[in-house]
Amino acid sequence: MGIRFILMVNKQGQTRLAQYYEYLTLEERRTLEGEIVRKCLARNEQQCSFVEHRTYKIVYRRYASLFFLVGVDNEENELAILEFIHLLVETMDRHFGNVCELDIMFHLEKAHFMLEEMFHKAL
Amino acid sequence: MALSGMRGLSVFISDVRNCRNKEQERLRVDKELGNIRTRFKNEKVGNIGGREFAESLAPDVQKLLISSSCRPLVRKKAALCLLRLFRKNPDILNIDGWSDRMSQLLDERDLGVLTSSMSLFVALVSNNHEAYWSCLPKCVKVMERLARNQDIPQEYTYYGIPSPWLQVKTMRALQYFPTVEDPSIRRALFEVLQRILMGTDVVKNVNKNNASHAVLFEALALVMHLDSEKEMMSQCVALLGKFIAVREPNIRYLGLENMTRMLMVTDVHEIIKRHQAQIITSLKDPDISIRRRSLDLLYGMCDVSNAKDIVEELLQYLATADFAMREELALKAAILAEKFAPDLSWYVDVILQLIDKAGDFVSDDIWFRVVQFVTNNEDLQPYAALKAREYLDKPAIHETMVKVSAYLLGEYSHLLARRPGCSPKEIFGIIHEKLPTVSTPTIPILLTTYAKILMHSQPPDPELQNQIWAVYSKYESCIDAEIQQRAVEYFALSRKGEALMDILAEMPKFPERQSSLIKKAEDTEADTAELSAIKLRTQQQTSNALVLTDQRPANGAPQVSQLGMVMVPSTSNADQNAVDQRVTQSNGTLSVVDPQPLAQDHAPAGDILGDLLSPLAIEGPPGVSPQSEFNGVPSHEGSVGANDALALAPVGDQESTVKPIGDIAERFQALCLKDSGVLYEDPYVQIGIKAEWRGHQGRMVLFLGNKNTAPLDSVQAVILPPSHLKLDISLVPEIIPPRAQVQCPLEVVNLRPSRDVAVLDFSYKFGTHLVNNKLRLPAVLNKFLQPIQVSAEEFFPQWRSLPGPPLKLQEVVRGVRPMPLGEMANLFNSLKLMVCPGLDPNPCNLVASTTFYSENTRAMLCLIRIETDPADRTQLRMTVASGDPTLTFELKEFIKENLVSIPTAGKPPAPVAQQPQPNNQPIASSDPGALLAGLL
Residue-wise pLDDT for A6-18, tens only, equals 999 998 889 999 9
Of the pLDDT bands very low, low, confident and very high (cuts 50, 70, 90), residue B96 is confident
Contact B704, B741 (CB under 8 A): yes
Minimal-distance CA residue of chain A relative to B527: A54
**Which residues contact residue B115 at a Cβ distance below 8 angstroms, ignoring those fewer than 6 apart?**
A121, A122, B76, B163, B165, B166, B169
**Chain B residues inside the 8 Å CB shell of A80:** 164-165, 168, 211, 214, 218
> Is any Cβ of chain B less than 8 angstroms from the Cβ of A1?
yes
> Is any Cβ of chain B less than 8 angstroms from the Cβ of A104?
no
Say whether pLDDT at B643 is over 80: no
Q: Tell me, what's the pLDDT at B58?
A: 77
**Chain A residues inside the 8 Å CB shell of B525:** none
What average pLDDT does range B348-365 have in this prediction?
Answer: 86
What average pLDDT does range B225-235 have in this prediction?
Answer: 76
**Chain A residues inside the 8 Å CB shell of B115:** 121-122
Q: Tell me, what's the pLDDT at B49?
A: 58
Q: Tell me, what's the pLDDT at B46?
A: 58
> Is any Cβ of chain A less than 8 angstroms from the Cβ of B287?
yes
b/e B501-521 (16+ beta carbons within 10 angstroms → b): eeebeebeebeeeebbbbbbb
Q: Tell me, what's the pLDDT at B361?
A: 82
What average pLDDT does range A78-107 have in this prediction?
Answer: 91
What average pLDDT does range B870-896 have in this prediction?
Answer: 87
Minimal-distance CA residue of chain A relative to B215: A80
Q: What is the pLDDT of residues B788-822, one digit of tens each?
A: 888 888 888 888 888 888 888 888 888 888 888 88
**Chain B residues inside the 8 Å CB shell of A38:** none
Q: What is the pLDDT of residues B828-850, one digit of tens each?
A: 888 888 888 878 888 888 888 89
Say whether pLDDT at B308 is over 80: yes
Say whether pLDDT at B573 is over 60: no
- Quote the crossing angle between the two packed helices A108-122 and A78-96, to the nearest 10°: 140
Instruction: List, as one string, the DSSP characters of chain A.
Output: --EEEEEEEETTS-EEEEEESS---HHHHHHHHHHHHHHHHT--TTS-SEEEETTEEEEEEEETTEEEEEEE-SSS-HHHHHHHHHHHHHHHHHHHSS--HHHHHHTHHHHHHHHHHHHHHH-
Instruction: Check A49 against B164: CB less than 8 A apart.
Output: no
Q: Which of B158, B172, B287 sits opposite A47 (nearest CB)?
A: B287
Q: Tell me, what's the pLDDT at B38?
A: 66
Q: Percentage of chain B surpassing pLDDT 70? A: 77
What average pLDDT does range B412-425 have in this prediction?
Answer: 84
**Which residues contact residue B903 at a Cβ distance below 8 angstroms, ignoring those fewer than 6 apart?**
B634, B909
Tell me what the pLDDT averaged over chain A comes to: 88
Q: Tell me, what's the pLDDT at B514?
A: 62
Minimal-distance CA residue of chain B relative to A91: B1
Instruction: Check B213 against A79: CB less than 8 A apart.
Output: yes
> Is any Cβ of chain A less than 8 angstroms from the Cβ of B158?
yes
Looking at mean pLDDT, say which of B270-279, B510-519, B711-720 comes out highest: B270-279
Q: Tell me, what's the pLDDT at B806?
A: 83
Contact A72, A1 (CB under 8 A): no
ipTM of the complex: 0.94
Looking at mean pLDDT, say which of B411-425, B544-558, B567-581 comes out highest: B411-425
Contact B274, B519 (CB under 8 A): no
SS3 B198: helix
Q: Tell me, what's the pLDDT at B921?
A: 42
Q: Percentage of chain B surpassing pLDDT 90? A: 11
Please give the Cα distance from B183 to B190 (Å, whole number): 10
Say whether pLDDT at B248 is over 50: yes
Query: Is the Cα torsion angle B894, B895, B896, B901 positive or negative in sign?
Result: positive
Identify the residue among A31, A78, A79 best suited for mutation to test binding to B, counting B beta carbons within 10 A and taking the highest. A79
Of the pLDDT bands very low, low, confident and very high (cuts 50, 70, 90), residue A68 is very high
The helix (H) or strand (E) run that includes residue B493 is helix B481-494
Which residue would you say has higher pLDDT here, A82 or B328? A82
Which residue would you say has higher pLDDT here, B730 or B862? B862
Query: Is the Cα torsion angle B242, B243, B245, B248 positive or negative in sign?
Result: positive
**Which residues contact residue B462 at a Cβ distance below 8 angstroms, ignoring those fewer than 6 apart?**
none
Say whether pLDDT at B20 is over 50: yes
Which residue would you say has higher pLDDT here, B881 or B554? B881
Single pTM value for the model: 0.57
Contact B697, B717 (CB under 8 A): no
> Is any Cβ of chain B less than 8 angstroms from the Cβ of A77?
yes
Q: Tell me, what's the pLDDT at B571?
A: 37
Instruction: Check A1 against B87: CB less than 8 A apart.
Output: yes
Looking at mean pLDDT, say which of B143-157, B310-324, B543-557, B647-661 comes out highest: B143-157
What average pLDDT does range B854-873 have in this prediction?
Answer: 85
Say whether pLDDT at B227 is over 60: yes
What average pLDDT does range B205-223 have in this prediction?
Answer: 92
Minimal-distance CA residue of chain A relative to B217: A77
Instruction: Check B165 against A52: CB less than 8 A apart.
Output: no
Instruction: Check A77 against B532: CB less than 8 A apart.
Output: no
Q: Tell me, what's the pLDDT at A120?
A: 64
Say whether pLDDT at B611 is over 60: no
Instruction: Check A28 against B531: CB less than 8 A apart.
Output: yes
H helices present in B802-927, as ranges = 821-830, 885-899
Instruction: Check B253 against A48: CB less than 8 A apart.
Output: yes
Tell me what the pLDDT averaged over chain B comes to: 76
Say whether pLDDT at B339 is over 90: no
Say whether pLDDT at B160 is over 80: yes
Q: Tell me, what's the pLDDT at A36?
A: 92
